[in-house]
């Protein structure tokens, strides 16, 4: 069964081993995502099993694409030749983004990982439903909006040092730390998926609901302006300022005790706001 499809253009192979082609022409085609493979159909039929995929969107030089188009670069091992192959796909709008998200979800849910919550380690699998992260079969779950900080760090287990994805989860007045250890060659799939979900959530559920003035308020707060200085600079009436703060506090991106400050979530949201000029 096809999980999702995307019509666009592709270059195959875009590269082999460590050699990349920049003069190849785009070919019209369609990418279909199945539960265990990608099938790209055009002048030829390209089958890419999930097990063969090494990376997605590796940082290499890519050809110029038309305005409004996105790309997906797939690096994988050709099963017959044992060569490292790159296939580049491009399409308009959000098609490629949705395709990549579903692809990452399908890849990671098959990979066994170790998760530490508190003092307890557990072998589990990570699955995503909408914006809910689930660890199966433990039953632990949390919404992507509850992640207030996310980073990678090295930790020591016994005599070994390993890299872990660390999530700081909002628990009301407190926070909870979750460590995720994945197979080294698969870690970037998890990191990309979590970041893609976070970026999508922030853009659709927070930034689209903020006005330019509210975004500018956050930017100025981050630059060290005080509540009173921002109010005076933007010439916002007191009542309107209070409504603005209530809205931002509702989203969990500012906190008002004695002074107004950005929360950890607010700092994450700010990363997705383009720098603005004063109105």
Residue ranges of domains in the chain, CATH in brackets: 4-95 (2.30.29.30), 109-206 (2.30.29.30), 210-270 (1.10.10.10)
Give me the helices (H) in the chain, please.
95-108, 187-201, 212-222, 227-234, 238-250, 264-270
Integer angstrom CA distances of residue 208 from 9, 13, 98, 221 = 30, 38, 19, 20
Supply the pTM of this predicted model: 0.88
Biggest distance spanned by C-alpha atoms of the chain: 70
Instruction: Give the pLDDT of the chain (279 residues) as one tens digit per residue.
Output: 999 999 999 999 999 988 898 889 999 999 999 999 999 999 999 999 999 999 999 998 888 888 889 999 999 999 888 999 999 999 998 999 999 999 999 999 999 999 998 888 999 999 999 899 999 998 889 999 899 889 999 998 878 899 999 999 988 778 899 999 999 999 999 999 999 999 999 999 999 999 999 999 999 999 999 888 999 998 899 999 999 999 999 988 998 887 899 988 898 898 888 876 655
Residue 87 · residue 46 · CB < 8 Å? yes
């Amino acid at each position: 069964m096809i999980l999702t499809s995307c019509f666009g253009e592709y270059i195959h192979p875009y590269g082999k081993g460590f050699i990349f082609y920049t003069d190849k022409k785009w070919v019209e085609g369609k990418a279909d995502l199945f539960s265990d493979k990608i099938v790209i159909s055009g002048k030829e039929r390209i089958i890419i099993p999930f097990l063969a995929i090494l990376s997605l969107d590796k940082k290499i030089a890519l050809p110029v694409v038309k305005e409004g188009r996105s790309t997906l670069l797939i690096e994988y091992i050709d099963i017959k030749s044992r060569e490292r192959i790159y296939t580049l796909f491009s399409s308009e709008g959000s098609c490629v983004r949705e395709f990549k998200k579903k692809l990452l979800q399908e890849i990671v849910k098959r990979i066994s990982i170790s998760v530490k919550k508190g003092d307890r380690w557990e072998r589990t699998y990570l699955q995503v439903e909408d914006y809910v992260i689930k660890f199966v079969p433990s039953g632990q779950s949390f919404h992507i909006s509850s992640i207030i900080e996310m980073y990678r760090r090295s930790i020591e287990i016994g005599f070994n040092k390993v890299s872990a994805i660390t999530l700081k989860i909002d628990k009301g007045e407190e926070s909870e730390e979750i460590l995720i250890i994945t197979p080294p060659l698969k870690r970037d799939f998890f990191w990309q998926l979590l970041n893609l979900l976070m970026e999508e959530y922030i853009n659709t559920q927070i930034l689209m609901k903020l006005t330019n003035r509210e975004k500018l308020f956050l930017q100025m707060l981050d630059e060290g302006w005080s509540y009173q200085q921002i109010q005076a600079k933007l010439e916002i009436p007191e009542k309107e300022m209070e409504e603005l703060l209530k809205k931002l506090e509702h989203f969990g991106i500012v906190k008002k005790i004695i002074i107004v400050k950005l929360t950890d979530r607010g700092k994450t949201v700010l990363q997705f706001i383009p720098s603005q000029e004063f109105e």
